Amino acid sequence: MSSVWVIMKRELRSYFATPVAYVFIFIFLALTGLFTFQIGGFYERGQADLAAFFEFHPWLYLFLVPALSMRLWAEERKIGTIELLMTLPVTMWQAVLAKYLAAWCFTGIALALTFPLWITVNYLGNPDNGVILAAYIGSFLMAGGFLAIGACLSAVTRNQVIAFILTVSLCFMLLLIGHPQVLSVMQGWVPQFIVDAIASLSFHTHFASIKKGVIDLRDLVYFVLVITFFLIANAVILDVKKSN
Amino acid sequence: MIKATRLSKYYGSLTAVDNLSFQVGPGEVLGFLGPNGAGKSTTMRMIAGFLTPSGGTATVCGFDIQKDPIAAKSAIGYLPEGAPNYPEMSCGRFLDFIADVRQLKGNTRRARLDDVIDRLHLGPVMHQAIDTLSKGFKRRVGLAQAIIHDPQVLILDEPTDGLDPNQKFEVRELIHKMASDKIIVISTHILEEVHAVCSRAIIIANGKLLADDTPQALESRSRYHNAVSLRVGQGTDAESVRNILRSQQQIGRIEGEGDSITAFPKDGALLLPRITGLANEHNWQLDELHLESGRLDEVFRDITSAEPQV
C-alpha cells in the first residue's frame, strides 16, 4: 500500500509542477461560475439550493476530465517513463491505482474549491445542506467514473489527442443514453425493459437521482462498478501491451 | 546471478530475440554487443521485467522474473535506453521518489542518497528541474536512480550513449568501481567500451547469440591478431622494406599503403622478434612498430555479417 501512496504523491505533485493544475482549476471554476449564474439562473430561481450548479457538472466533466486523464498513461509511454515505473518493484495494480487515485484526488481538489458557492447559498438562504453534500458526493463519483474511462483509454495509445477523443466519445455516449430526449426516441418501438436497461447504464440517470439528495445504494454501486471495471480494463490493457 | 534460459520474444511474425541462453555471475561485467535492432534492448527489457517474454524465462538472484517479479525487480537497478525520467521533477525530488519506492528508510536512505549524489556529482543540480538539465546530467540522474538501492544486479542500456568523452570516461570509472561485487550487464555499440569496462562480451544479431567470450579472446579471432604493424620513417625506402618482409618464411601477407605496413604471420608464427631483428640488420628507420592484439570492430563485422539478414 505504501507504494501506492508514494506514486500517488509523486503524480499529484507533478500536476502542480506544471501549469496543467492551475489551468484546469481556473477553467473549471470559471465555467462552473458561468454555468451556475448565467445559464443555470442561480439568482432567478429564487431557491436556496445548488441545483443550478450541479446541473451542468456532467457536461463540464465531459470535456475537462478527458483533458486531465488523456496524459495518464499516454504521456508515460511517450516519454518512456513507463519503462522506469514498470521496472520499479511495484505491481501493475499499485501503479494503476496510484495514478488513478492521484487524478481523482486532483478533481476532488478542484471540486472542493467551489466552496464559495456553498457559502453564498448558505448566506442567502437556508438550503438543505444534506442535499448539497449528497450532490457533491455524486459529482465526485461521476468525475471518478469519467476518469476511470479516461485512464483506461489513455493506456491504449501513446497519442494524447487520440486518448482525449476516445474518452470524450465514450463518455458522451454514456451521458446521452440516459437523457430523456434520447430515451423518448426509443420509447414505443423498443421494449420498455431494454429502454430501462440502457438508461440504467448512463451516468446521467445515476447522477440525476444523487443530485436530488437521494443517495441510493444502486447509484453508488453503479459508480463503483464503472470505476472498478475500467481500472481492471486499464491493467489488462497494460499487461497485454507488455507481452506484445 | 542472472540466468537467461531460452529467452525469446516475437513481435507478430518478427523474431526479436531467439532462444537466448546465458549466465552472468558476480564480479562480471557483461557487454551486450550487436548492430542496431539486434535484440539487445528487448533482452534487457525482458530481464528487467518491462516486457513479458514470448518464451523461456530469466531468473535474477534466484527470482524468476515472471513468477516473482517484485523480488527480482528489487534486486535490479535498471537504466532504460535513453534514460527516461520525469521532466517536470527536480533532480532531488526524483531521487527521493525512487528511494521511497525502493523502500529505503532512515539513515540508510540518507546515506544512499548522499552516496549517489556524490558519485555522480549531482550536488549542484539537485533543485533543478530535470527538463532543464544537459544530456550528460540527465544520463547521470538516470544512473543515480539505477544504483540508489545498491542493487546486486545492474542492467544499463547504453549508459554512455550521447555523452562527451569526459562523461563517458566518468561513467566507465563508475562501472569499474562497482564491478567487483556486482553483476553488471551493459549494452553498447561502442567497441572501445567493451575493452574499457567489460570482462566478457556477448555478440547478438537478429536475436541470436553469435559469440560469448572475453574481449581478448574475441580479438584473437581477428586476422590482425599477432600481426605486426610498422610505419617507415624518412630515409628508409618503404618498398625495399616490403620486399625484404615478403621474402620472410614466417610472413604470410603484407598489407598497407605508403609508409604503413602490416605483416600477417603464417601458421601462428611470432613476428615481432624477427622484424625487430631485420630492422636492426638493415638499419631501418621506423617511426612506429607494434604488435596487433586484434581488431574488435573487424571481428564484430565478421560475426554479425556472416548471419544472413532477414
Closest residue on chain B to A83 (Cα): B50
Task: For B251-308, write each residue's pLDDT tens digit.
Answer: 888 888 888 899 888 877 888 888 888 888 888 888 888 888 888 888 888 888 865 5
Closest chain A C-alpha to B308 CA, distance in angstroms:
25
The DSSP bridge partners found for residue B254 are B263
Residue B254 has a pLDDT of: 87
Interchain contact A13–B (C-beta under 8 A): yes
Contact A83 B50 (CB under 8 A): yes
Answer whether A181 touches B (CB < 8 Å).
no
Give the rounded percent of residues in chain A with a pLDDT score beyond 90.
59
The whole-angstrom separation of Cα B291 and Cα B258 is: 19
Contact residues, chain B, for A243 at CB < 8 Å? 51-52, 54
Q: A46-59 pLDDT, tens per residue?
A: 777 788 888 889 99
User: Does pLDDT of B55 surpass 60?
Assistant: yes
Query: Does residue B183 surpass a pLDDT of 50?
Result: yes
pLDDT at A42 over 90: no
Residue B184 contacts residue B156 (beta carbons within 8 Å): yes
Domains of chain B listed by start with CATH number: 2-219 (3.40.50.300), 228-292 (3.30.70)
Q: Is the pLDDT of residue B53 over 90?
A: yes
Are the Cβ atoms of B50 and A13 closer than 8 angstroms?
no
Query: How high is the mean pLDDT of chain A?
Result: 90
Chain A neighbors of B102, CB-CB under 8 A: 88-89
In this structure, is the dihedral angle defined by the CA atoms of residues B213, B217, B222 and B223, taken in order, positive or negative? negative
CA distances from A168 to A101, A157, A163, B125 (A): 20, 15, 9, 40
The closest alpha carbon to B65, from B80, B46, B81, belongs to B46
Reported as a pLDDT band with limits 50, 70 and 90, residue A1 is: low
Overall average pLDDT of the B163-177 stretch: 89
Rounded to an integer, what distance in angstroms lies between the CA atom of residue A122 and that of residue A116? 10
Which residues on neighbouring strands pair with residue B11, listed in sequence order? B14
With a cut of 80, say whether residue A41 has pLDDT above it.
Answer: no
CB proximity list for A167: less than 8 A, separation 6 or greater: A65, A66, A69, A70, A146, A149, A150, A153, A154
Can you tell me the distance from the alpha carbon of B34 to that of B20, in angstroms, rounded to the nearest whole number?
14
The closest CB to that of B80, out of A14, A84, A243, belongs to A84
When pLDDT is averaged across residues A71-87 and rounded to a whole number, the result is 94
- Provide the grid cell at A62: 465531459
Q: B81 to chain A, minimum CA–CA distance in Å?
A: 9
Distance from CA of A146 to the nearest CA of B (A): 25
Residue B310's pLDDT band (boundaries 50, 70, 90)? very low
> Considering only CB atoms, which residues of chain B are within 8 Å of chain A?
11, 45, 48-52, 54, 69-71, 73-74, 76, 78, 80-82, 84-89, 93, 97-98, 100-103, 129, 145
Alpha helices by DSSP H, listed for A37-91, are 42-45, 51-54, 57-69, 71-79, 81-86
Q: What is the C-alpha to C-alpha distance for residues A105 and B43, in angstroms, rounded to an integer?
A: 38
Alpha-carbon distance of B44 to A136, in angstroms, equals 48
Task: Report the pLDDT value the prediction gives residue B308, as an integer from 0 to 100.
Answer: 53
Chain A CB contacts of B78 under 8 Å are 84, 87
Which alpha helices (DSSP H) does chain A contain, by range?
2-17, 19-34, 42-45, 51-54, 57-69, 71-79, 81-86, 92-112, 115-124, 129-154, 160-176, 180-186, 192-200, 203-211, 217-243
**A240 and chain B: CB distance < 8 Å anywhere?**
no
pLDDT for res B88? 92
Q: What is the pLDDT of residues A94-153, one digit of tens each?
A: 999 999 999 999 999 999 999 998 998 889 888 888 889 999 999 999 999 999 999 999
pLDDT tens-place string over residues B110-157: 999 999 999 999 999 999 999 999 988 999 999 999 999 999 999 999
Distance CA B245, CA B284 (A): 12
A82 has pLDDT over 90: yes
Nearest CA in chain A to B10: A244
Give dist(CA A82, CA A155) in Å, integer.
Answer: 11
pLDDT of B68: 94
